[in-house]
Amino acid sequence: MKKIPPFPASSLERISRVLGDTENGITGSEIGHTLKQCGITDTDPTFTKWQRLFNALVHYQNKSGSGNHVVGFIHKSIDPVLYTNIPEKFRWFRDELNPVLSFSGLGINENGKVTWVKKAKNLDEALARKNKIQIELVRRSAHPEVLNYCTEELMRGSSFHAVFEAMKGISSRMKSLSNLTSDGANLAEEMFALGKEKNPRFAINDLSDESQESEQKGFVNLVIGMHGMFRNTTAHKPRKAWKIEDIDAIDILTAISLVHRKLDQAKPYR
């Protein structure tokens, strides 16, 4: 990696606080070992973890005139190999460090490597690097069942698999409501379809007039269409062949949230 400009003291402090966090950070012995590996003098080994790390990084940065040593320390501290049995800790480091690094035009990818990214101009842009899909879903008051089925995938930064898991969540709820054994679009039709010769098993309203019947029909078509467009596609195509942009994932997951809200209203009809 080319020479990295020195980090502001405020960024170094936040990086040190994250890496030296009391609950989730690396241990004191790990800090000492990693500093030694990086060739950074442990100036104050008796200080609290984050202060010890901050002082060591500042001292070396003042001497070297660059921030490369900070990146090196991060690489060794959050090497994914170290967290194969506790992947959530690696994801926590990424989520907490990325907003800070974004002010310097840097970010940590899924391989644990610090790379150049578009520089954040303000706090909102920086916080969006943390997990912008999840943050936006919370801002939109998405139905809890959406995140219940795909939080792990969002934490991994995989919008493709998040959509797939969230779509599976729709079928899971419909099965739980109905005790039927069919799946996906077939299950939606079996539960909610109505027509001249069809009486639905469940209804999302009273079906007392033409308007309510139209809503029910539209709901069935929506669920069937979503399964055809999103679940079936993600089930049969590799991630590289069907890329989902973050903005599209947010809209898809919001639509899934609407389906769950309608399922909240669903009651047996016959």
pLDDT value at residue 109 = 87
pLDDT in tens, 77-123: 999 999 999 988 998 899 899 999 999 999 998 889 999 999 999 98
pLDDT value at residue 1 = 67
Q: Do 113 and 203 fall into the same domain?
A: no
Q: Does position 203 have pLDDT exceeding 60, yes or no?
A: yes
Q: Do 21 and 48 fall into the same domain?
A: yes
Q: Do 181 and 211 fall into the same domain?
A: yes
Q: Does position 129 have pLDDT exceeding 90, yes or no?
A: no
Q: Do 155 and 256 fall into the same domain?
A: yes
pLDDT in tens, 140-151: 889 999 988 887
Within-domain flag for 190: yes
pLDDT value at residue 5 = 96
Domain holding 16, by residue range, is: 9-120
Residue of 111, 44, 48, 47 whose CA lies nearest to 74: 111
Kindly list the distances between the CA atom of residue 25 and the CA atoms of 110, 135, 262, in Å, as whole numbers in the listed order. Answer: 18, 23, 42
Q: Do 44 and 88 fall into the same domain?
A: yes
Calculate what percentage of the chain has a pLDDT beyond 70: 93
Record the pTM.
0.56
Q: Do 45 and 153 fall into the same domain?
A: no
Within-domain flag for 127: no
Within-domain flag for 131: no
Residue where one domain finishes, among candidates 57, 88, 120:
120
Label residue 124 exposed, middle or buried (CB < 10 Å: 0-12, 13-18, 19+). exposed
Within-domain flag for 231: yes
Residue reference for tokens 């900070």: 70
pLDDT in tens, 154-197: 766 678 888 989 999 999 999 999 999 999 999 999 999 887 66
Residue where one domain finishes, among candidates 60, 93, 120:
120
Residue where one domain finishes, among candidates 76, 92, 120:
120
Within-domain flag for 3: no
Q: Do 147 and 102 fall into the same domain?
A: no
Q: Do 93 and 207 fall into the same domain?
A: no
Q: Do 90 and 142 fall into the same domain?
A: no
Within-domain flag for 205: yes
Contacts of 187 (CB under 8 A, 6+ apart): 171, 174, 175, 178, 180
Within-domain flag for 2: no
Calculate what percentage of the chain has a pLDDT beyond 90: 69
CB 114 within 8 A of CB 71: yes
Q: Does position 241 have pLDDT exceeding 80, yes or no?
A: no
Q: Does position 204 have pLDDT exceeding 90, yes or no?
A: yes
Q: Do 103 and 174 fall into the same domain?
A: no
Within-domain flag for 133: no
Q: Do 105 and 14 fall into the same domain?
A: yes
Q: Do 107 and 194 fall into the same domain?
A: no
Domains: count for the chain? 2
